[in-house]
Chains A and B, each alone.
Chain A
Amino acid sequence: MAGKPKLYYFDGRGKMESVRWLLAAAGVEFEEELLETREQYEKLLQDGALMFQQVPMVEIDGMKLVQTRAILNYLAATHNLYGRDLKERALIDMYVEGTTDLMQLILMFPFLSAEDKEKQHALIVQKATNRYFPAYEKVLRDHGQDYLVGNQFSWADIHLFEAILMVEEKKCDVLSEFPQLQMFKARISNMPRIKKFLEPGSQRKPIPDDKYVETVRRVLQMYYNVKASV
């Protein structure tokens, strides 16, 4: 039965947020089971529902998919957001890996000590403005099209948009030297499904707070200290 995909994760962004973005952009309704207790997680383990004992996990089309990359690949391909041929897919993959690396720096942020947060903040801004945003600015400038790949909306655009918003939450004027990206951001924001996902009441999750960190640590019994990337 082609039911709605069901997402198993914490009530927060983490690695699952990119999946929520992709589903929303594709116009696919989804359900969520939010992990709050250790017992919920242990039940999933006992049921053999988590291939490598980890979340994210997404129940979709009769599969229990794990590993964020595998989940996103499948969703992109099944919703025509993965390009028209191998070369377009290669470009999308390269671009998405770049934004993944950038977002990974932000993902670990809430778990850092106060001192490390300061270092990490500087690193995020530096990498965004010196490494990642210039690359995407050039792509858009060079071909002058609305979207990153093949003149059509793809997963690469959604992922870049998500990354831009996340970095802006750290430094609101981070796009000041990237006019193409500013126009890109405005264009994508105006797409109906994206607009809807950006409105209050959607399944988009807020910036992680202490409660989120506490929940993750409790459910995963992950009490060690995460080090900054520097």
Chain B
Amino acid sequence: MPKAIRSSLMAGKPKLYYFNGRGRMESVRWLLAAAGIEFVEEFLETREQYEKLLQDGALLFQQVPMVEIDGMKMVQTRAILGYIAAKHNLYGKNLKERALIDMYVEGTRDLMDLIRVHHKFSPEEQEKNLALINERATARYFPVYEKVLKDHGTEFLVGNQLTWADVQLIEAILMVEEKVSTILSKFPLLQDFKTRICNIPTIKKFLQPGSQRKPPPDESYVVTANRVFNRK
């Protein structure tokens, strides 16, 4: 096969293996979208699909998310995100910028994890979790990012250009707002940040109906996940 054709076949679109819902894969969709990278998705709907992936040895630790990209079957969300960020110039210019980005994304990751599992709780537990989300967002996480923006007065969190840290922060802000719509009321710089980032063409496109962005989890999402993983 001529080299040019082989190369163009290999440089195909990333393929995401996950449920038809947000879960842990949503941050990957956000990052690819922000970077302007088109991707395809295979949605897990049946136990059989999952078992086939297992039998084919496609899931290193028997888990999804899994992303086929550049000849690799990548698993583990952080590994996937780190690779995409580095490949598409969203991981800072040097090690110190990368350290800052890593700290910021770990913070937003912890916040988003509270929301990611919310739908699994009983109504009573959900009430407590909502209070926790509110408290963590307003007392622990958002003050940090507000201060970062205030201290260096630039448009982005790190190094004056869009990075993974900004993409994950906007994702986190929108997720929290879905639970507590007034969450940014005491964070004027984050409000400006939100407006600015949402106006970036690739992100604006991702926020429009018809994009590959997934809606908040509903009953059918929970049922599908339980069925695929044989959970009661």
Q: Is B102 touching A67 in the complex (CB atoms < 8 A)?
A: yes
Closest beta carbon of chain A to B114's beta carbon, Å: 13
Closest beta carbon of chain B to A141's beta carbon, Å: 13
Task: Flag whether B11 is at the interface (Cβ < 8 A).
Answer: no
Task: Write the chain A residue with the least CB distance to B60.
Answer: A135
Closest beta carbon of chain B to A45's beta carbon, Å: 11
Contact of B86 among A53, A61, A86 (CB under 8 A): A86
Chain B 75-103: CB-based contact to A (< 8 A → 1; otherwise 0): 11111001100110000000110110011
Task: Flag whether B144 is at the interface (Cβ < 8 A).
Answer: yes
A-B contact count (CB 8 A): 72
Q: Is B74 touching A94 in the complex (CB atoms < 8 A)?
A: yes
Task: Flag whether B140 is at the interface (Cβ < 8 A).
Answer: yes
Contact of B76 among A77, A93, A131, A132 (CB under 8 A): A93
Contact of A90 among B72, B77, B99, B102 (CB under 8 A): B72
The interface residues of chain A lying within 8 Å CB-to-CB of B61 are: 98, 101, 131-132, 135
Task: Flag whether A69 is at the interface (Cβ < 8 A).
Answer: yes
Q: Is B99 touching A70 in the complex (CB atoms < 8 A)?
A: yes
Task: Flag whether B141 is at the interface (Cβ < 8 A).
Answer: yes
Q: Is B76 touching A94 in the complex (CB atoms < 8 A)?
A: yes
Interface positions, chain A 86-108, Cβ under 8 Å from B, are 86-87, 89-90, 93-94, 97-98, 101
The interface residues of chain B lying within 8 Å CB-to-CB of A67 are: 102-103, 106-107
The interface residues of chain A lying within 8 Å CB-to-CB of B96 are: 61, 63
How long is the Cα–Cα vector from A80 to B163 in the complex, in angstroms?
A: 24
Closest beta carbon of chain B to A39's beta carbon, Å: 21
Closest beta carbon of chain B to A49's beta carbon, Å: 13
The interface residues of chain B lying within 8 Å CB-to-CB of A87 are: 70, 72
Contact of A93 among B83, B95, B110 (CB under 8 A): B83
How long is the Cα–Cα vector from A70 to B99 in the complex, in angstroms?
A: 6
Task: Classify the secondary structure of B's interface with A.
Answer: helix
Task: Classify the secondary structure of A's interface with B.
Answer: helix
Task: Flag whether B62 is at the interface (Cβ < 8 A).
Answer: yes
How long is the Cα–Cα vector from A69 to B107 in the complex, in angstroms?
A: 11
How long is the Cα–Cα vector from A115 to B107 in the complex, in angstroms?
A: 32
Q: Is A90 touching B103 in the complex (CB atoms < 8 A)?
A: no
Interface positions, chain B 48-76, Cβ under 8 Å from A, are 60-62, 70, 72, 74-76
* Contact (A90, B79) CB under 8 Å given A51-B144, A53-B140: yes
- Chain A: interface size category: 20 to 34
Task: Write the chain B residue with the least CB distance to A65.
Answer: B99
Which of B70, B87, B107 gathers the greatest number of chain A CB atoms within 10 Å?
B107
Q: Is B79 touching A97 in the complex (CB atoms < 8 A)?
A: yes
Task: Flag whether A52 is at the interface (Cβ < 8 A).
Answer: yes
The interface residues of chain B lying within 8 Å CB-to-CB of A89 are: 82-83, 86
Q: Is B74 touching A74 in the complex (CB atoms < 8 A)?
A: no
Q: Is B72 touching A78 in the complex (CB atoms < 8 A)?
A: no
How long is the Cα–Cα vector from A93 to B82 in the complex, in angstroms?
A: 8
How long is the Cα–Cα vector from A53 to B62 in the complex, in angstroms?
A: 34
Task: Flag whether A73 is at the interface (Cβ < 8 A).
Answer: yes
* Contact (A90, B60) CB under 8 Å given A52-B141, A70-B102: no
Q: Is A94 touching B106 in the complex (CB atoms < 8 A)?
A: no
* Contact (A74, B95) CB under 8 Å given A51-B144, A94-B75: yes
Task: Write the chain B residue with the least CB distance to A130.
Answer: B62
* Contact (A97, B144) CB under 8 Å given A61-B96, A77-B95, A131-B61: no
Q: Is A73 touching B144 in the complex (CB atoms < 8 A)?
A: no
How long is the Cα–Cα vector from A66 to B61 in the complex, in angstroms?
A: 27
Closest beta carbon of chain B to A26's beta carbon, Å: 14
Which of A61, A86, A94 gathers the greatest number of chain B CB atoms within 10 Å?
A94
Task: Write the chain B residue with the least CB distance to A66.
Answer: B103
Closest beta carbon of chain B to A113's beta carbon, Å: 19
Closest beta carbon of chain A to B209's beta carbon, Å: 33
Q: Is B76 touching A65 in the complex (CB atoms < 8 A)?
A: no
The interface residues of chain A lying within 8 Å CB-to-CB of B82 are: 89-90, 93
Given A52-B141, A77-B95, A94-B79; 13 other pairs, CB 8 A cutoff: A65-B99, A65-B103, A70-B103, A77-B98, A78-B95, A86-B86, A89-B83, A90-B72, A93-B78, A93-B79, A98-B76, A131-B62, A135-B61
- Name 9 interchain pairs, CB-CB below 8 A, sorted by A: A66-B103, A69-B78, A69-B102, A73-B98, A77-B95, A86-B87, A87-B72, A89-B83, A89-B86
